[in-house]
């Protein structure tokens, strides 16, 4: 897939969204509907005093120059006219005219074909939510399923990290140009995603992030994914918006239950009340359950089981009948083999999580 594969009409629409970006913030609460407008109607709806200037610039749009700018930013393009365009996105009334892909368009197309599952949730998440997101994503990716998320701080980033712990099959849908991380603090994660997965956006290079881009991004996550799972979300969370967009597209929605007294559990619990699937592991997403014990050598299983029960290392050594020296050696062996994961405070959990 090369930039030459995108048609001028679709490139012009992508340019128009970038040009109208400051104006679209005014209508951010209804942005999916506004994006369904044709070019002239969109300009009339949001451009205000810039209408004449925007129309003139659109008439003079230089598609080859736009494609060259994308190529210079290491972005490959897939327009909605192209056979490689993901068909699930066509279920949107306002599908992205162009997908700008970092990490390789061919890889992105391959990842989309692997039953993508969106794992989304709160930015300010609890250790439980972060560990759950990592482990669930790890379990899905271990079965060569693609994990989709938005690379936001919190649950989204944890989901990407979990998928990267296996074969790296993850797609980050960004609110801004995908060749740069958002947030900027996620530079290292962004590089790892591009090394084994892909980042995608409907916006091209050099477009600053604005508030309307987040609900616009969420509709792409919902449509691209065969199922959306919310791990943790407070009332009003963008993750709940993504889940409801998925439901409107008749995609399955799942939710991970949490502590009943936690505000982070209010969103998933509400989704479950509304009919979302309760997700306690990969099997609840309709995939074969992955049993971590099948891969753990017999000599390590006692320590593994103790850690899976939530014991700290010292208590796990005692439970498994190991002295400190032997316990530390087996602990290191389990971690190097990828069977356990070290979390905050030196606490270990099985990897992937399978309650």
Query: Where in the chain are all domains bearing CATH 1.10.10?
Result: 292-350
Mean pLDDT of 208-221: 96
pLDDT in tens, 53-102: 999 999 999 999 999 999 999 999 999 999 999 999 999 999 999 999 99
For residue 5, name the pLDDT band (cuts at 50, 70, 90): low
| Percent above pLDDT 70 for the chain | 93
Q: What is the C-alpha to C-alpha distance for residues 136 and 193, in angstroms, rounded to an integer? A: 17
Q: Which two tokens stand for residue 162?
A: 């979990």
Query: Where in the chain are all domains bearing CATH 3.40.50.450?
Result: 67-205+213-285
Residue 352 scores a pLDDT above 80: no
For residue 299, name the pLDDT band (cuts at 50, 70, 90): confident
pLDDT score for 338: 66
Higher pLDDT, 121 or 287: 121
**How many angstroms separate the most distant Cα atoms in the chain?**
79
Q: What is the C-alpha to C-alpha distance for residues 154 and 116, in angstroms, rounded to an integer? A: 20
**Residue pointed to by tokens 């309709």:** 286
Order of strands across the sheet with 253-255?
76-79, 98-102, 198-201, 170-173, 147-149, 117-120, 227-230, 253-255, 277-278
Q: What is the C-alpha to C-alpha distance for residues 151 and 218, in angstroms, rounded to an integer? A: 12
Q: Which two tokens stand for residue 32?
A: 């999916």
Look at residue 80 and give its three-state secondary structure: coil
Give domain 292-350's CATH architecture: Orthogonal Bundle (1.10)
pLDDT score for 353: 44
pLDDT in tens, 278-295: 998 877 887 544 444 456
Residue 187 scores a pLDDT above 70: yes
Mean pLDDT of 298-313: 85
Higher pLDDT, 28 or 340: 28
Residues in the chain: 355
pLDDT score for 345: 67
Look at residue 146 and give its three-state secondary structure: coil
Give domain 67-205+213-285's CATH architecture: 3-Layer(aba) Sandwich (3.40)
Residue 310 scores a pLDDT above 80: no
- Alpha helices (H) along the chain: 8-19, 21-24, 31-34, 39-46, 51-59, 63-72, 105-112, 127-142, 155-164, 187-196, 213-224, 238-248, 266-273, 298-308, 313-319, 324-336
């Amino acid at each position: 897939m090369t930039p030459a594969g995108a048609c001028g009409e679709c490139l012009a629409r992508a340019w128009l969204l970038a040009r109208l970006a400051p104006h679209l913030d005014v209508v951010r609460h209804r942005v999916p509907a506004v994006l369904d407008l044709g070019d002239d109607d969109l300009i009339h709806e949001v451009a205000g005093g810039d209408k004449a200037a925007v129309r003139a610039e659109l008439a003079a749009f230089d598609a080859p120059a736009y494609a060259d700018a994308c190529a210079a930013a290491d972005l490959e393009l897939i327009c909605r006219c192209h056979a490689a365009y993901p068909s699930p996105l066509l279920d949107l009334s306002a599908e992205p005219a162009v997908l700008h892909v970092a990490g390789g368009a061919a890889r992105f197309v391959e990842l989309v074909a692997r039953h993508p599952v969106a794992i989304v949730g709160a930015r300010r998440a609890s250790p439980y939510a972060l560990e759950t997101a990592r482990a669930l994503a790890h379990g899905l990716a271990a079965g060569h399923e693609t994990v989709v998320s938005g690379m936001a701080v919190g649950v989204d980033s944890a989901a990407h990290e979990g998928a990267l712990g296996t074969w790296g099959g993850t797609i980050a849908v960004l609110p801004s140009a995908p060749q740069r991380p958002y947030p900027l603090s996620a530079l290292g994660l962004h590089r790892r995603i591009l090394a084994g997965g892909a980042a995608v956006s409907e916006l091209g290079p050099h477009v600053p992030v604005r508030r309307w881009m987040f609900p616009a991004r969420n509709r792409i996550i919902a449509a691209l994914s065969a199922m959306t799972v919310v791990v943790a979300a407070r009332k009003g969370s963008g993750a709940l918006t993504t889940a409801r967009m998925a439901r409107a597209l008749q995609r399955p929605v799942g939710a991970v239950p949490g502590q009943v007294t936690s505000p982070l559990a209010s969103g998933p619990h509400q989704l479950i009340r509304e009919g979302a699937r309760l997700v306690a592991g990969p099997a609840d997403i309709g995939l074969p359950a992955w049993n971590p014990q099948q891969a753990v050598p017999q000599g390590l299983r006692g320590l593994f089981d103790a850690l899976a029960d939530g014991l700290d290392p010292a208590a796990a050594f005692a439970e498994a009948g190991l002295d400190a020296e032997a316990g530390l050696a087996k602990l290191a062996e389990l971690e190097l083999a990828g069977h356990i994961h070290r979390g905050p405070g030196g606490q270990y959990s099985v990897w992937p999580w399978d309650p």
